[in-house]
Amino acid sequence: MKKVFVFMVFAILVIACGDAPNKEATNAPKPKSMIADEPADDGKGVGQTKAITLNTPLLAPMVAKGKAIYEMKCAACHKLSDKRVVGPGWKGITERRKPEWIMNMTTNVEEMLANDPTAKALFKECLVAMPNQNLTVEDARNVLEFIYANDGYEVTEL
Ligand code: HEC
């Protein structure tokens, strides 16, 4: 009797697994070639910004908002020239970094400093961790517009 019972439980388990055909597929070990030890660095950084479409020319109202945020929250540590104060100067940053990277650095700095190879290297140089400035993604996007204007990209008339 006990054996029959065990068999029935086993049969139910098998049927249950049969009901979820994907489960086995997800749990199955992946072939070695599909496992990346270190994900390749795409230069976009880590964070919620995956893709940015730049405005050509830049939009003046966004540049103005970004400038105001810069003056309030960033100017103490970042010059608009290429001179480093606490953090690197911003001149030329659009040549060094992708726009997505700049956005992620601005909105997700802790994770960037912990996991992004470029941000980690910067921290080694600067020896100060950039504090989280609590910018919304929208604020950060306006600052990005200002950063491109600072690098000489064309801006629309106000
Ligand atoms: C207290 C100083 C401080 C403030 C304020 C600050 N940062 Fe930073 N920032 C740093 C430091 C230091 C680094 C270099 C990375 C590190 O060591 O953490 C940095 C790096 C950066 C970088 C990358 C620079 C490069 O050359 O790649 C960006 C972009 C940036 N900050 C954006 C901002 C923005 C936007 C603000 C304002 C909303 C801001 N930061 C405010 C200190 C600061």
Identify residue 52 by its one-letter amino acid code.
Answer: I
Taking the mean position of all CA atoms in its chain, how far away is CA 104?
4
For residues 50-73, give the mean pLDDT.
97
How much distance in Å is there from the Cα of 5 to the middle of ligand 1? 66
Region of poorest pLDDT, from 15-24, 34-43, 140-149: 15-24
For residues 101-107, give the mean pLDDT.
98
Identify residue 65 by its one-letter amino acid code.
Answer: K
Burial 65-92 (b: 16+ CB within 10 A, else e): bbbebbeebbeebbbbeeeeeebbebbe
Report the mean per-residue pLDDT for the chain.
86
Instruction: Give the position, in ligand 1's atom list, of the atom nearest the Cα of 86.
Output: 12
The dihedral of CA 104, 110, 116, 118: what is its sign? positive
The residue whose C-alpha atom lies closest to atom 8 belonging to ligand 1 is 130
pLDDT digits (tens, 9 = 90+) for 72-100: 999 999 999 999 999 999 999 999 999 99
